[in-house]
Chain A
Amino acid sequence: MRDHSKGGALTEVTFYILLALYTPKHGYAVMQFIEEKTGGRLSLGAGTLYGALNSLQEKGWIAPYGDSGDRKKEYLITLQGKKVAENELARLKELVAVAKEIVGGAV
């Protein structure tokens, strides 16, 4: 539970991309997933998404999925990426618990 202390907080964009990629998706599907899940609140620009996908791939949290011959390039979360997502969920739970305590549980 405590081992995420060294991991640091993820950005919302990063976390949503990791969540989207629990099943293989190409770029457009990732964008659709995020828009749908947030009800359009988080609408990601293609350039920002492209940069984020590349950084996550460099970190080894996501990887290309299948052979991308002439088909659209798909990505999938890695084991390491799942670990990061689990730590983030624990961090957010803690944050929400503190916020509820202080702001109140009305929301």
Chain B
Amino acid sequence: MSKKYYRFFGGLLDAQARWLNKMSARGYRLVRTEKLLYEFEECQPNQVTYCVEFVGQKSREHAEAYRDFLEEMGYKVFYKNINLNYSIGKVRWRPWAEKGGRIATNATTFNRELLLVEKENDGKTFALHTSHGDKESYYTTLRNPWLLLLLMLAAFAVANDSAILGVFAAICLLPVLIYQRQIWLNRREARTKEW
């Protein structure tokens, strides 16, 4: 019996991973995703474990190569959207992305910003990034979209003398600070330790 859930986590990557792992603990594993839909089928409780990875900064080729690599590792990979957007022929400018990923369309990583990665549970913690240097660069890719949004909203808030935009800018500050803290912590650790 498959079970369908409708959820939206947006940029809350950890919350999404926690929820998927909770579902696995209850004996459900993912079989299909859509914009809001998560479809599960029954499995042994804790048979699988999940990681959520942001790949919105990658070009189409790099995102696909990375996905292939993860599948070669024996993981099951699902694409997931980070935003809710139903328009067709959407084009997004992503100055924070790598070369080849800065113009995001439905044919590239647009609406495929996240990878939900499933691994057969072997009792060990499932982490995709393990060295301090690598974690630092991963958290940087997570911070940059929020940082750009923060700067743009702050600039518009000042230019339009708008309190609402100011509030939105302040909201963006939170993820920027959370990721920035991780960047600093990993950078400090990396001075003496590799991982």
**Residue ranges of A at the interface with B (Cβ–Cβ < 8 Å):** 11-13, 26-28, 31, 42-48, 50-52, 72-73
Contacts and interface: CB of A to CB of B under 8 A. Distances in A.
B195 A72 contact: no
Given A28-B72, A28-B73, A72-B72, A43 B194 contact: no
A47 B63 CA distance: 12
Contacts of B194: 11-13
B72 A45 contact: no
Interface string B22-54: 000000000000000000000000000000010
Given A11-B194, A12-B194, A13-B195, A45 B73 contact: no
Contacts of A47: 53, 128-129, 134, 138
B70 to A, nearest CB: 6
15 contacts: A11-B133, A11-B194, A12-B194, A13-B195, A28-B73, A31-B73, A43-B124, A43-B130, A45-B134, A46-B73, A48-B128, A48-B129, A48-B130, A48-B131, A73-B69
A30 to B, nearest CB: 10
Given A45-B129, A47-B128, 8 more contacts: A13-B194, A28-B72, A45-B128, A45-B130, A46-B128, A47-B53, A48-B134, A73-B68
Interface of B: 53, 66, 68-70, 72-75, 117, 124, 127-131, 133-134, 137-138, 194-195
A94 to B, nearest CB: 19
B130 A27 contact: no
B131 A13 contact: yes
Contacts, number: 52
A80 B4 CA distance: 53
Contacts of A73: 68-69, 72
A44 B129 CA distance: 8
A43 B123 CA distance: 13
Given A12-B194, A13-B194, A44 B130 contact: yes
Contacts of B138: 47
Contact of A46 (B69, B133, B137): B69
Nearest to B135: A48
B111 to A, nearest CB: 21
Contacts of A27: 69, 72-73
A50 B66 contact: yes
A56 B69 CA distance: 16
Q: Which of A28, A45, A50 lies at the interface centre, i.e. has the most chain B CB atoms within 10 A of its CB?
A: A45
A13 to B, nearest CB: 6
